[in-house]
Structure 1
Amino acid sequence: MTWNTMKLPVSVKGIVFEEGEVWLRRNERQEWELPGGKLDPGEQPVETVERELKEEMGMVVRPIAPVHAYRHTIPGSADEENGVLVISYLCEMLDSTGDFETEGESGAASFRRFALDALDDGVSMPRFYVEAIRLAESAAR
Structure 2
Amino acid sequence: MTYRPHHFPVSVKGVVVQHGKVLLLKNERDEWELPGGKLELGEEPPDRLLREITEECGWEATIGPILDSWQYHIREGVDVLIVTYGAHVTTEAAPVVSHEHKEAGLFAESEVAALNMPEPYKRSIADWYERLRESVR
TM-score after normalising by structure 2: 0.87
Q: What are the equivalent positions in structure 2 for 1:126-141 lying under 5 Å apart?
A: 126-141=118-133
90-99 or 129-138, larger mean C-alpha shift: 90-99
In structure 2, what is the equivalent of residue 8 of structure 1? 8
Q: What percentage of aligned pairs have identical amino acids?
A: 32
Unaligned runs of 5+ in 2: none
Q: What are the equivalent positions in structure 2 for 1:85-96 lying under 5 Å apart?
A: 85-95=81-91
- How large is the Cα RMSD of the aligned pairs? 1.9
In structure 1, what is the equivalent of residue 74 of structure 2? 74
In structure 1, what is the equivalent of residue 37 of structure 2? 37
Q: Deviation above 3 Å: which 4+ runs of structure 1?
A: 96-99
Q: How far did residue 99 of structure 1 move?
A: 5.7
CA distance in 2, matches of 1:132, 1:99: 20
Q: How far did residue 118 of structure 1 move?
A: 0.9
In structure 1, what is the equivalent of residue 97 of structure 2? 101
Give the aligned residue type for 1:65. Answer: P
Mapped contact 2:55–2:98 kept (Cα < 8 A): no
CA distance in 1, matches of 2:5, 2:78: 12
Q: How far did residue 135 of structure 1 move?
A: 1.1
Q: How far did residue 3 of structure 1 move?
A: 6.4
Mapped contact 2:57–2:98 kept (Cα < 8 A): no
Q: Deviations over 1:1-24 (max 9, x none)?
A: x86622220000011111111100
User: Does the residue aligned with 2:97 lie in a helix, a strand or coil?
Assistant: coil
